[in-house]
Amino acid sequence: MSAVLQTAAILLGIGITIWAADRFVDGAAQTARALGVPALVVGLTVMALGTSGPEIAASILAAAQGYPALAIGNALGSNIANIGLIIGLTAMIVPLKLASASLRRELPLLVLVKLVTILLIANGELGRAEGLAMLVMLVLALLWIIRIALTPGRDDPLLAELNSELPAETRMAPALFNLFLGLLLLLGAAQLLVWGAVGLAGSLGVSDLVIGLSIVAIGTSLPELATCIAAVLKRQHDIAVGNVIGSNLFNLLAVLPLPALIAPGPLPSGILGRDFPVMLGLTLLLIILARGFTRHGSISRGQGLLLFALFIAYQLGIFIAWN
């Protein structure tokens, strides 16, 4: 009976997360627009940080309640799911094309952040010093992204897509209402998700890390999947890919520092030898596909199937390794 309740809590938490994340991202974008922030800055920073809202909420609660491995698994697993599951499934529905010069300039930053993060935790520790270093990197990354956004390439397609998607102007009161409603619901959904995931891990006899890398990571990534599919159906390919690039960047710099600051300690076994290499490998593959060897990169249905298959193989691998 307890396993049934835990599964129900996870499913309810995921359902609320999908709806609440949409409200939270909309509220954040509307608030920024009400303050007069340029559309491209909103798209590359505010919306990108907003899409990491579910991961941030889940990681805060998991680390605060004594489950730092679940929080770490959520941060890394979400990055893996964003590329393998989300980009893979989205490209299988509609082949993706990346035309935005701004996003192509952001891709090397994503690789640099991942390499520096690996260097920071190469000693096997995720302590407060490492967490603070990641937050400093977050500030520097935001400044660099804002610089990219303020000097876009001529007729950047992402700017046109954002202008058609974001409101030209909005009132502050409803924007803040959406923002705080989404935030409160995200925290409630994250509590359900963490409670159910920890309980289910105990019932199944698997570690918090494995649950974080799988169930929690997939659950907190589903809002991005819904956003990406909705975007490509509107032919907004750059918004879809941009959401994933931004989310991956901020999952490392805004989500991974949370267990470091709240519950510092040694890294769980397998992180450095298995999960980080998989995350980095998928990132490099995405960059090769997204940048292409010609003027514009593209991700075909076959390549999307490859990314999805790699994600499924990874998920099977972590459970087989545990058993």
CA distance 88 to 305: 6
pLDDT in tens, 62-81: 999 999 999 999 999 999 99
Does the pTM exceed 0.85?
A: yes
Element (H, E) at 212: none
* The predicted structure's pLDDT at residue 293: 45
**Three-class secondary structure of residue 52 per DSSP:** coil
* The predicted structure's pLDDT at residue 1: 53
Q: Among residues 231, 255, 226, which one has the least CA distance to residue 77?
A: 255
Given a cut of 50, the residues of the chain with pLDDT beneath it are: 293-294
| Domains defined for the chain, CATH in brackets | 2-322 (1.20.1420.30)
* The predicted structure's pLDDT at residue 323: 62
CA distance 214 to 227: 20
What's the chain's Rg over C-alpha atoms?
18
Element (H, E) at 163: helix 157-165
CA distance 67 to 24: 25
CA distance 225 to 1: 31
Element (H, E) at 266: strand 265-266
